[in-house]
Amino acid sequence: MRLITYSKELVDGQSIYISSNSLPVKVLNLEPAGHAFHAAALRLVGHCVETNSDGDDDEKEVSKEKENVYVQSSDSYSSKGKKKSGGDAKQQDHYALLGLSHLRYLATEDQIRKSYRETALRHHPDKQASLLLAEVNEVAKQAKKDEIENHFKAIQEAYEVLIDPVRRRIYDSTDEFDDEVPSDCAPQDFFKVFGPAFLRNGRWSVTQPIPTLGDDSTPFKEVDSFYDFWYSFKSWREFPHADEFDLEQAESRDHKRWMERQNAKLSEKARKEEYARIRILVDNAYKRDPRIARRKDELKAEKQRKKEAKILAKKAEEEAAARIVEEERRRKEEADKKAAEAASNQKKLREKEKKLLRKERTRLRSLSTPILSGHLLNLTDDDVEGLCSSLDKEQLRILCDSMEGKEGLGRAKLVKEKLELDHKLKDEKEDEKNIQQKHSVAVNGDIPYSSTEKREKPWTKEEIELLRKGIQKYPKGTSRRWEVVSEYIGTKRSVEEILKATKTVLLQKPDTAKAFDSFLEKRKPAPTIASPLSTREEMQGLPNGNVAESHAPIGSDNSPEPSQQSGGKPNSDNGPTAYVTTSNSDEDSWSAVQEKALVQALKTFPKEATQRWERVSAAVPGKTVGQCKKKFALMKDNFRNKKNAV
């Protein structure tokens, strides 16, 4: 086969042969650029460059992927765009390159710029040309040149990272830091152990400056503000993960967003762990802070002191109450004792007075015995006893003393005079009482009421109904409403009585227990039809006098007058009057059934029952209230006569 092309880049210089079944290869005139140009230049000068097999594999994979159609999926994302772990290459110290190792995260932007200018000027490749001349051969010179250039590039990279706030924050977050949390310490070493820990972790605080832990003499207000700050601590620390995705390698917008979500998940997890670590630090410090422990002891002691004071106060109150009760009981006992003594003395005094009174009465009776036996001045035992009951002890003593000096008629005169004087005093008291009653009648214009009577006249059912109708007929807004209602009732009720009745009488519920009584009152008496004929049972149930009376001739003088109570009228056309009207003998005739019903009704409705006789008459068929009362009186007289006869 004929040689198609020859390239000077071929080291071995062998010809290239292409099979007959392949298409001719098109010659491409491409020039290397960037890293490829640098690698080609190194190969031309004979510098051996180690190839990265991983890079070749990645290029092969990329070429293969270009042949296939790209489909967006989470599986394809997970295998692309990850940062290299960088486990083999150590991260450079940007602060050390710029000469800021003593400041590190405390370095300001001006300090970074100033240090970068000095370092860049000192390590610029043009300033390091003298170092190339010191080398012997070209290879060493080239190596030294590369070293100088790489060092200058590292300085530029350090400046770019530290001057950018976002990238510097990420770098500071991954900078060397002691995450150790103190767990225990002696009480005297608390501030030495936890003070540096809080200062060390305070670099991550968003709020600056941070409060200090203080010392044992720090006021409680500052201590509380210190722990409040750390319990609400906000950190700016970033948490770049070794497995997070590089957003610059995203193939599309959706791919980039998916990378951001995955990176956010990793950062959120690390952030939660960081906040948990800070919380453990604050909790450990709060538990072991001698100031907090001292305040807790003081509060506990104060609480115990208040509790004891409360118990003592309660005990004192109970003792005071018990003392008051005891004093009250003792006072009551003394008062009862004094009252008992006074009552006993009063009783003894009364007994003594009674004894003396009985003695004087006995004395009067003994002195009056000759007078009564001689019937002097028509004095009797009742007169003497009246004086004994009406006169008191002193009067009796004076009377008896005056009687002892006289005999016979003189004593009788003294008793007579005393008796007349006593009657006169009684009459005067009675007249005075009558005059007072008359005076009260003249002043008030009304008869004085007794203690059992009421001044206000009770309302009858008719008045209550009229009052209810009047209130409905004359509603609110009527001129002189209550005077009009009083005139409508017509019983001379005053306005005050009507107003009081509207609040009391009208609001009372009807008594259902007296419903039957009101029914009996309103019920019309049933008309009785008297019959001249009597059955055998009725004749047997009648007394002998009634039977004889029922067989009396109609036209005789003993026949009673027709009763107007039954409401019958004589009918001369139809026959005799006796067959039409009801006679008294027919009304007074009682059958055995009626008598039995009357006795049973009297037992059922005792004297205390309301509307007794109306209920009794309703229970006895064919009899009125008057007939039942008359029969009851007759039965009572018969019972008394039988009892007297026995």
Q: Check residue 524 and give left, alpha or beta (phi > 0: left; psi -120 to 50: alpha).
A: beta
Q: What are residue 438's phi and psi, to 5 degrees?
A: -65, -40
Structure confidence at residue 1 as a pLDDT band (50, 70, 90) = very low
Q: What was the pLDDT predicted at 383?
A: 81
Q: What was the pLDDT predicted at 573?
A: 39
Give dist(CA 152, CA 141) in Å, integer: 16
Lowest-confidence segment of 27-31, 136-140, 497-501 by average pLDDT: 27-31
Structure tokens of 14?
Answer: 């062998």
Structure tokens of 474?
Answer: 């004359």
Which pTM value belongs to this model?
Answer: 0.38
Give residue for tokens 């080239």. Answer: 142
Task: Yes or no: say if 498 and 486 are a contact pair by the CB < 8 Å rule.
Answer: yes
Task: Yes or no: say if 523 and 531 are a contact pair by the CB < 8 Å rule.
Answer: no
List for the chain the helix, strand, coil content (%; round to 5).
Answer: 65, 0, 35
Give residue for tokens 């006795």. Answer: 599
Highest mean pLDDT among 3-12, 92-101, 301-310, 580-589: 301-310
Structure confidence at residue 320 as a pLDDT band (50, 70, 90) = very high
Compute the mean pLDDT over every residue in the chain, rounded to the nearest whole number. Answer: 75
Mean pLDDT across the stretch 323-331? Answer: 92
Structure confidence at residue 201 as a pLDDT band (50, 70, 90) = confident
Give the per-residue SS3 of 550-564. HCCCCCCCCCCCCCC
DSSP sequence for 72-99: --HHHHHTSSBPP--SSSPPP-HHHHTT
Mean pLDDT across the stretch 442-457? Answer: 50
